[in-house]
Structure 1
């Protein structure tokens, strides 16, 4: 990755810190509440943490895990893992305890860093995560760092190494660890930075959770370009608006559900938000009323983005001109065009052959920013990325004659609710275990706040207590995955081969609407 024509290529994540600590040691790198870190301080802390991890016996190929709301320690852990050849498996703190156990055990994490809100939960599952040799609470984190001297010299790592492992739900009902490498993340930072003009003068707000590419990849984008990071612990609309104004934020990424809250913050139209250069939104459907409310707040600065964890984040974008030109209003339901460094094609999901312009198929992506595969899942990895480097997204859609991509359905029936990926198989697995339910299908239905939410359609010959079934779901699933309602039917529609016709179940809910990912 080349940050400027005069600078040498940086081939790994630690090289970025080396660069900025040498070139801009006293410039502010990160702000979190009252916490301030210069580039020199951030570099020193990461080197201390790398030494602390090595002292715990953690090295190349090992995994650690973080269970916390946004905090600089999680980002430092990712950077320290990058330095020693390990990887940070950041846990989605919204998961239910059994799901948290699964992720930590799947990663084989040797160390668990836990925030105060999750200390009790971590203690409760301690006997079910045998690979974890040590748990570090954030209240002891500073003393732990201070007990070690910073590692000297440049890091010795392979750009093809995974350094951050983010989990995405799988069609089998269990999350998969996505292997994101130095090379891929640097390519993503280069491509997005080129497309959205990120440079050392930028101030990048990290409002989304670090377990998501909208959090971690966005933070690493800032580090790649020497921009200042301003991090929020939780994505609260009022805090987002206050920070945009007070910190003179130039770049931010927000999901539509959060933007809906931003538009409703009292007095938001009178706030000075003029510093914003790029407000990106995506990860779930954007209700048009929310978009209409936001366009006057951020004129000429809104970018719709489409992407996926397996591509480190963004692969296409719809720019401000397409948001505000009435003559191309139809493009508001598109995901825009490929960003710099990305190719997008639509292929027949059965044959892999390209389909004609305008015809539906599966969206395929090729770029240097693709994952190395799924952790310990070679078959799933081979199915996701072709030998010639195309990622099969699992999303259905089409390309128009101008090269705009429209994401119109999910090949794998994925539901995107408030920026979170929800696979019906996860919910169906839990519901199938409930006594009296003999058949089940979960679909996404429209929701004005979250874009879409899960709804269960079940066969229960003896009837069921909906409240009890939903309580069962809450005990085994994260809240955002729980069905928002249950329909009881005599039988589920199936095709001649026995496959449930979910399109028939969805049809009454989506009549007259576009079901899409943005």
Structure 2
């Protein structure tokens, strides 16, 4: 089954590059507020001038078209300015995940070949210890704090004049995948793809120049950078948080009259526990979108009264600049379609979705599981300096193999079950751990859960649950398994439960299932029958 786009990704006559969008608002609405951050307010004209100064500064430092620069910092407007300045000169901003360990930071900087680095005060000392391992890096510039160098650097250069000459298919921002199975890959995102994403998302979420967009997620994540560029695309006022603190998010939602935000489920769970949150005036919110990880149903139930008629689930990936499907507010509120709460909704405008057999690449019948494939103008240019990985991910006719398992129902709703590589094949039956994890998350006393496949002489592999008990709770394995049998088909039920103090996660918070599987599969290959 295929769901097709019904309109061009970018309207005729619209700017086709990020500097063109910024220049448009600087010309049409120069005194309108573009950005708020930690007490700083900047108009469109001011933001445009700063980006032009930075473009001049980069050229003076020898940064040329095709080069990569990098940013290692918590959220700060300088990262966004760097992305837009790179866009003007044909370079690309490789935004580094600040949660990475030092060897991982070295890997990303060297993989990108970054020639210049912006570094926040929290990371200056770490970077000083890494310089001898990053030979391509010619200069670091400190941003913020008492030793800030960034503002003087900008002030020392005149703004670049005239419109930028930009190739719409050039990469201007490079975000790194989380690397759950190996080293992260640099995802090259182009002007054309990013603008297509903004256009398509706005169609679903009604973003325009009157919107007030909160950027709470880190800019190294597509949910941060793409959301910021969405605001720029439509001339909306952007309000940026340095860190996604739940109390600060709530305060900003109310006092800044935020209309649009994107939050991950873990942050939403913490937000629901902020003292007095139910008494805050959150009525300005039009769209609260959430995604990037499964939403536990208890968290969903706590959020719906806080944001009635305004919650939208999104599913996407860095390789598609962000969102590809959305589950709208109506589907969250209508009890007659409550089953759709575990779906990812339907494709947004400009996106095609098919479910294919991961082995043959052939479409599977409606309702049958397979790998989710995506085709859209939002797709990445490819993985930086990894042509083989790019060819494996994107087919010659433009389909992205997402690596996610799932199915489409008869109404066109997409259900994401799990990563294809995490699928368990037990006695010839496909078992998706996410189905089991959703059931276990409902069990009282389970704070965190992961389900993996472990070897079994009869069935090849069987599910096993690795859980973290809630504080002050002792879990009874027999009771947990009985709960599963009451809600799952027998072949899907875990054959055992292990209680651990915490689950291993990568720097972006994704559970490292390969680490959980390792002790069970040591000395043998993972196999199925």
TM range (shorter): 0.7 to 0.9
Distance 2:298 2:392 in 1: 38
Label 1:479 to 1:220 Cα distance change in 2 as closer, same or farther (>3 A).
Answer: closer
TM-score, normalization by structure 2 = 0.81
What is the CA-CA distance between 1:9 and the residue it aligns to?
1.9
What is the CA-CA distance between 1:206 and the residue it aligns to?
0.1
1:395 matches 2:428: no
Label 1:59 to 1:4 Cα distance change in 2 as closer, same or farther (>3 A).
Answer: closer
What per-residue deviation string (whole Å, max 9, x for no partner) do you get for residues 207-237 of structure 1? 0000001000000000000000000000000
Aligned-partner SS, 2:103: helix
**Unaligned regions of 5+ residues in structure 2, if any?**
1-6, 424-432, 438-450, 452-462, 471-499
Label 1:314 to 1:412 Cα distance change in 2 as closer, same or farther (>3 A).
Answer: same
1:131 equivalent in structure 2: 136
**Unaligned regions of 5+ residues in structure 1, if any?**
418-423, 425-441, 450-465, 505-518
1:335 matches 2:362: no
Corresponding residue pairs, total: 457
Aligned-partner SS, 1:64: strand
Distance 2:170 2:42 in 1: 27
What is the CA-CA distance between 1:172 and the residue it aligns to?
5.1
Distance 1:3 1:345 in 2: 19
2:526 equivalent in structure 1: 499
Distance 1:34 1:178 in 2: 33
Distance 1:312 1:479 in 2: 17
1:368 matches 2:377: yes
What is the CA-CA distance between 1:202 and the residue it aligns to?
0.1
Label 1:479 to 1:88 Cα distance change in 2 as closer, same or farther (>3 A).
Answer: closer
Label 1:266 to 1:378 Cα distance change in 2 as closer, same or farther (>3 A).
Answer: same
- Whether contact under 8 Å (2:56, 2:160) holds in the other structure is yes
What is the CA-CA distance between 1:169 and the residue it aligns to?
3.2
Which runs of structure 2 are paired with 1:21-40 in the superposition (5 Å)?
21-40=26-45
What is the CA-CA distance between 1:194 and the residue it aligns to?
1.1
1:66 matches 2:71: yes
Distance 2:203 2:23 in 1: 22
Which runs of structure 2 are paired with 1:216-295 in the superposition (5 Å)?
216-295=225-304
Aligned-partner SS, 1:382: helix
Distance 2:508 2:43 in 1: 38
What is the CA-CA distance between 1:189 and the residue it aligns to?
0.4
Q: Which moved more, 1:481-490 or 1:175-184?
A: 481-490
2:359 equivalent in structure 1: 350
TM-score, normalization by structure 1 = 0.83
What per-residue deviation string (whole Å, max 9, x for no partner) do you get for residues 100-127 of structure 1? 0000000000001000000011111111
2:176 equivalent in structure 1: 167
What is the CA-CA distance between 1:33 and the residue it aligns to?
1.3
- Whether contact under 8 Å (1:492, 1:500) holds in the other structure is no
Aligned match for 2:110, one of 98, 105, 109: 105
Label 1:273 to 1:4 Cα distance change in 2 as closer, same or farther (>3 A).
Answer: farther
The RMSD of aligned alpha carbons is 3.1
What per-residue deviation string (whole Å, max 9, x for no partner) do you get for residues 171-216 of structure 1? 6500000000000000000000111000000000000000001000
Distance 2:45 2:465 in 1: 47
Aligned match for 2:159, one of 140, 145, 150: 150
Aligned match for 1:47, one of 44, 49, 52: 52
Distance 2:291 2:511 in 1: 22
Label 1:114 to 1:411 Cα distance change in 2 as closer, same or farther (>3 A).
Answer: same
Label 1:443 to 1:217 Cα distance change in 2 as closer, same or farther (>3 A).
Answer: farther
Aligned-partner SS, 1:412: helix
Which runs of structure 2 are paired with 1:440-459 in the superposition (5 Å)?
445=466
- Whether contact under 8 Å (1:493, 1:500) holds in the other structure is no
Label 1:488 to 1:111 Cα distance change in 2 as closer, same or farther (>3 A).
Answer: closer
What per-residue deviation string (whole Å, max 9, x for no partner) do you get for residues 71-110 of structure 1? 0000000000001000000000001101000000000000
Aligned-partner SS, 2:35: strand
Aligned match for 1:13, one of 10, 15, 18: 18
Aligned-partner SS, 1:175: coil
Label 1:486 to 1:171 Cα distance change in 2 as closer, same or farther (>3 A).
Answer: closer
1:463 equivalent in structure 2: none
